[in-house]
A and B are shown apart, each in its own frame.
Chain A
Amino acid sequence: MIIKEYDVSPEVISDDLCKDLMGVMTNGHVNNITIERYDNFIQIFGKVSGVEQELIIHVDGSLKFYRGHVRKPIPYVKNIIHMVNESQWRDTKVKLPEQDQEVFIKTNSGINRATYYVDDIDHGKQLFDLVYMQINKPYILPAKDVDFWLPADNVIL
């Protein structure tokens, strides 16, 4: 799954998460963490044994890891991509989608495309209607049974 654009706002990628990311990147051997926030990216700096480490989270979905003043790329840092991606899922207890919004939801077995709606006929029930329907099986989930969602237009499965 690819998230096209990261939400880099402090509400989604908090300062605490930035510190955790730098901690993971440096195996916990970090001090002097500095976080700089811009419109399109976040830059997180930390130092390990006097050598600067840098993590950049771009809105356009890319992450970059560097070491030292010459910005030597670190091609991969375990778990960070997953941690950043996980931060992007929206909690249904905090915010629900708009009426008829197409979303992806997390279920026990995977990720499903669904449409969110409030059923006015049925006492205003908040529901997710899963797109992939099967014969003889209802594919409507109450919002209370869904933990996380993402806007479908921001995801490539």
Chain B
Amino acid sequence: MRIKEYDVSEGRIPNEMIRKWFEKAGYGHGINVSRTNVSGALTVEISNIKASMMFNSRSNLIYCWDEEGNITTPENEAEIMEDLFNSQWRDPIVELPEIDMKVVCKFGWDGITSEISASTYQSRHTHGEDDLGYSTDMGDWLDEDEIIVWLPAENVIM
């Protein structure tokens, strides 16, 4: 499963979060954060006098350089890639899909994800009441509170 286009805007990934990743990679406090459009991909760069880090909206790959321009790889690079990947998922407490929207959602319990499923966010009428929830492509119904996070299905390749 992969995300087609990452949202690397400041609304989704605040500069403060990028500074945290830079520091986590062992490069110290990042001073400059910039976003530029490079060949149609929004590219984020953060740097200080010792190092630079770059990623863009097309993947969760991260490139880093030292002050002499040599490519470096932080030991915890995979962890930062994971942070970037996780930053893309929408929290249903903060933001719900539109009705009838196709989504990909994570669900499980105790904070452990058990499944990623293609679903549709919709309403159904049961026991004299209208419920909102997620109807999976496997034909199951998931209540709103069972979903951990979600993504628009059009932005995901399973």
Contact = CB atoms under 8 A, between A and B. Distances in A.
A130 B1 CA distance: 19
A143 interface: no
Interface string B105-148: 01110000111111100000000000000001110100000000
Classify the interface of chain B: helix, strand, loop or mixed. Answer: strand
Name the residue among A2, A61, A113 with the largest chain B CB count within 10 angstroms: A2
Contacts of A113: 108, 113-115
Nearest to B108: A132
Interface string A40-83: 00000000000000000010111111100001010110100110
Interface string B81-113: 110010000000000000000001011100001
Interface stretch (B9-17, B18-26, B27-35, B50-58): B50-58
B2 A82 contact: yes
Contacts of B56: 75-76
Interface centre among A65, A109, A112 (most CB of B within 10 A): A109
Contacts of A156: 82, 85
A111 interface: yes
A141 B63 CA distance: 42
Contacts of A78: 58
- Max chain A C-beta neighbours (<10 A), residue from B114, B116, B138, B157: B114
A94 interface: no
B114 A76 contact: no
A111 B114 CA distance: 8
Contacts of A124: none
Interface string A103-117: 000011111110000
Contact of A108 (B73, B104, B137): B137
Nearest to A107: B138
Interface string A91-123: 000000000000000011111110000000000
B71 interface: yes
Given A73-B63, A75-B58, A75-B61, A157 B106 contact: yes
